[in-house]
Amino acid sequence: MKKGCYFTTPIYYVNDVPHIGHAYATVVADVFARYHRLAGDEVFFLTGTDEHGQKVAKAAEDRGLEPQEHVDKMVGPFQDLWSLYSVSNDYFIRTTEERHQQVVQEIFSRLYEQGDIYKGTYEGWYCIHEENYWAEGQLVDMNCPDCGRPVKRVTEDSYFLKTSGYQDRLLEYIEAHPDFIRPVVRRNEVVSFLESGVQDVAVSRTAFSWGVPVPFDSEHVVYVWFDALINYLTGVGYTTDDEHFAAFWPPVHLIGKDILKFHAVIWPTMLMALGLDLPKAIIATGFWTLGDQKISKSRGKVIDPIELADELGVDAVRYFLLREMPLGHDGEFTHDGLVRRINDDLANDFGNLIHRTLPMVKKYRDGVVPKRPATAGRTAALAETAAGIIDEYNKNMRAENAREALIAVWRLLAAANKFIDSSQPWNLSKDGDDQGLDEVLWGLIETIRLAVLMTYPIMPATGEAAFEQLGFDESPGDKLFSDELVWGRLAGGGQTRPGSPLFPRIELEPKE
Ligand SMILES: [Zn+2]
């Protein structure tokens, strides 16, 4: 049986207003899910929301709502955003759903019975904002080192997960699997954290009740992080759909670097205790920092992905997110930078190729794409370039390097733009070289077809529109890459349907 590919995003904290960071991790995961579907793999792609915890209960109380009513209202903006951003998740998990709560309870009981969870007492400095305990040495002027808010001295009965018992095994695993935690800088962070010694972590709370109850101790609810991590198991069918679970486990996790420890230390501990395979990869994405004031104007310090999509188009923003910075690094988000990418890469390189080629097909061939030529002399070099770039693209996409894959595609676009200049279709027409002209025009449309296919996981709506203009009856997603992403598959004979620019130029507003 073919082994499936399982991609996850973090489940987002339901109290948050969705911002560009949420959109980033989700779009990245979506691009890989889309790629693997086209590559013929079975894919399961999961995203969702994290809906328990003290802060959620507090926010509900402030609004005069029951916690469940509150989260039911808060989940909508996330679901709407993913639909706006063409996110193709197979399931949207909410940690308040019944099935999930049962899985959490089952896991909690099992780990308790086998001695990986035990009862103890916790004493420490607690920040209600992060729902996090801090050691006294970590505090800044006795305030939370993360948010600066005052912390409270708290003592409570708590259940603990024996993280300490697994640290050597986990270190060995990380050593033996260099791609397990990416990028390397994050891997090193986790290794030195593990080497410095890991303490058992609290996995239950008694101070509030908005959470999954510990099944054998009604005073306690399961700690929100423990509950949230288990979404990756629930979502794919752990204990509820064994066949589905077996087909897709283990996952590739896309996370933000701020939740690295939970995913790369606590989560593998839980999985080892459950006797499950560890994730194929934990990929920590970097942060976008605001590089200029323009984007932040309307919404304080948050980059609003809806506003961006309205102004620039969803596909252009998706392209920017994937192309601008290497996965795992931080990037600067500037409005000018975004517009420059759209104008240079999309409007100039890609758009011009299409909007130079289609008018020539119209002018010289009444808009009909020439049939696949019998000779290949004029397109031989372009064909060779394309074949090499397709290999490079596939290799990079399989290694979750979408940026490198896109850079390769843009080399193909550059080669095709040069090919127009060097083959001079207007002179072939003037000289009456019909065979040569057919071959050149066919080669250009073929190159555009391949570039559209390769960028389709990143810009799905644009890909559909491009195929429409090229006169193809199918969508780029109708067939597998093994059949379509090969030089020479274009039969020709179709009637092109030129339309409005696929990548409109954005006019930069003058500096204020
Ligand atoms: Zn804090």
Q: pLDDT of 288-322, one tens digit each? A: 887 755 443 444 556 889 999 999 999 999 999 99
The band of 268, judged by pLDDT with boundaries at 50, 70 and 90, is very high
Q: Ligand 1 centroid to 227 CA: how many Å?
A: 20
The band of 273, judged by pLDDT with boundaries at 50, 70 and 90, is very high
Q: Ligand 1 centroid to 112 CA: how many Å?
A: 30
Is there a domain that residue 495 lies in?
A: no
Q: Ligand 1 centroid to 145 CA: how many Å?
A: 7
Q: Ligand 1 centroid to 117 CA: how many Å?
A: 26
Last residue of a domain, one of 249, 275, 290: 249
Q: Ligand 1 centroid to 14 CA: how many Å?
A: 18
Output the CA torsion sign for 117, 122, 70, 73: negative
For residue 200, which phi and psi values (nearest 5 degrees)? -60, 145
Q: Ligand 1 centroid to 342 CA: how many Å?
A: 38
Cα–Cα distance measured from residue 99 to residue 103, given in angstroms and rounded to the nearest whole number: 6
Partnered with residue 495 across adjacent β-strands are 368
In a shared domain, residues 238 and 338? no
Q: Ligand 1 centroid to 71 CA: how many Å?
A: 22
Cα–Cα distance measured from residue 91 to residue 449, given in angstroms and rounded to the nearest whole number: 31
Is there a domain that residue 243 lies in?
A: yes
Cα–Cα distance measured from residue 31 to residue 456, given in angstroms and rounded to the nearest whole number: 9
- The residue assigned the tokens 């810009």 is 459
Residue 388 in this model has a pLDDT that exceeds 50: yes
Integer CA distances (angstroms), 135 to 124, 141, 148, in order: 7, 13, 15
Closest CA to 248 of 36, 41, 44: 44
Residue pLDDT, tens place only, 14-54: 998 898 889 999 999 999 999 999 999 999 999 999 999 98
Q: Ligand 1 centroid to 126 CA: how many Å?
A: 8
Among left, alpha and beta (phi > 0; psi -120 to 50; other), residue 131 is left
Residue 183 DSSP label = S
pLDDT at 133: 79
Closest CA to 491 of 353, 355, 351, 374: 374
Cα–Cα distance measured from residue 382 to residue 385, given in angstroms and rounded to the nearest whole number: 5
Integer CA distances (angstroms), 129 to 64, 124, 167, 497, in order: 19, 15, 29, 56
The pair of three-digit structure tokens given for residue 500, joined into one six-digit string: 């409005």
Cα–Cα distance measured from residue 223 to residue 5, given in angstroms and rounded to the nearest whole number: 29
The answer to whether 158 touches 124, Cβ cutoff 8 Å, is no
In a shared domain, residues 214 and 351? no
pLDDT at 335: 85
Q: Ligand 1 centroid to 79 CA: how many Å?
A: 28
Q: Over range 378-402, report the average pLDDT.
A: 97
Residue pLDDT, tens place only, 161-196: 999 889 999 999 999 999 999 999 999 999 999 999
The answer to whether 231 touches 78, Cβ cutoff 8 Å, is no
Task: List the CATH number of the domain containing 46.
Answer: 3.40.50.620
Q: Which of 106-110, 166-170, 330-334, 483-487 has the lowest mean pLDDT?
A: 330-334
In a shared domain, residues 98 and 213? yes
Q: Ligand 1 centroid to 29 CA: how many Å?
A: 29
Q: Ligand 1 centroid to 127 CA: how many Å?
A: 5
Last residue of a domain, one of 220, 249, 278: 249
Is residue 178 packed enough to be buried (19+ CB in 10 Å), middle (13-18) or exposed (0-12)?
exposed
In a shared domain, residues 346 and 235? no
Q: Ligand 1 centroid to 139 CA: how many Å?
A: 10
In a shared domain, residues 365 and 458? yes
Is there a domain that residue 291 lies in?
A: no
Q: Ligand 1 centroid to 96 CA: how many Å?
A: 25
Structurally, how many domains does the chain consist of? Answer: 2
Q: Ligand 1 centroid to 144 CA: how many Å?
A: 5
pLDDT at 512: 47
The band of 156, judged by pLDDT with boundaries at 50, 70 and 90, is confident
Is there a domain that residue 206 lies in?
A: yes
Domain membership of residue 27 as a residue range? 5-162+200-249
Is there a domain that residue 420 lies in?
A: yes
Q: Over range 470-475, report the average pLDDT.
A: 95
The pair of three-digit structure tokens given for residue 128, joined into one six-digit string: 């209600």
Residue 3 in this model has a pLDDT that exceeds 80: no
CA 300, chain centre distance (Å): 25
Q: Over range 344-354, report the average pLDDT.
A: 97
pLDDT at 511: 52
Q: Ligand 1 centroid to 327 CA: how many Å?
A: 28
Q: Ligand 1 centroid to 140 CA: how many Å?
A: 11
DSSP string, 227-248: HHHTHHHHTTTTTT-HHHHHHH
CA 102, chain centre distance (Å): 28
Rg (CA), the chain: 26
The answer to whether 361 touches 441, Cβ cutoff 8 Å, is yes
Residue pLDDT, tens place only, 191-212: 999 999 888 999 999 888 999 9
Q: Where are the beta strands (DSSP E) in 367-491?
A: none
Partnered with residue 285 across adjacent β-strands are 256
Is there a domain that residue 123 lies in?
A: yes
In a shared domain, residues 243 and 353? no
What percent of the chain stands above pLDDT 70? 97
Cα–Cα distance measured from residue 296 to residue 335, given in angstroms and rounded to the nearest whole number: 10
Q: Ligand 1 centroid to 323 CA: how many Å?
A: 34
Task: List the CATH number of the domain containing 383.
Answer: 1.10.730.10
Residue pLDDT, tens place only, 50-76: 999 989 999 999 999 999 999 999 999
Is there a domain that residue 209 lies in?
A: yes
Residue 240 in this model has a pLDDT that exceeds 70: yes
Is there a domain that residue 265 lies in?
A: no
Amino acid in position 479: K
Q: Ligand 1 centroid to 132 CA: how many Å?
A: 7
Q: Ligand 1 centroid to 137 CA: how many Å?
A: 15
The band of 117, judged by pLDDT with boundaries at 50, 70 and 90, is very high
Residues in the chain: 512
What percent of the chain stands above pLDDT 90? 82
Q: Ligand 1 centroid to 22 CA: how many Å?
A: 21
Q: Which of 295-304, 314-323, 375-384, 399-408 has the lowest mean pLDDT?
A: 295-304
pLDDT at 301: 57
Q: Ligand 1 centroid to 209 CA: how many Å?
A: 21
Amino acid in position 165: G
Q: Ligand 1 centroid to 150 CA: how many Å?
A: 8
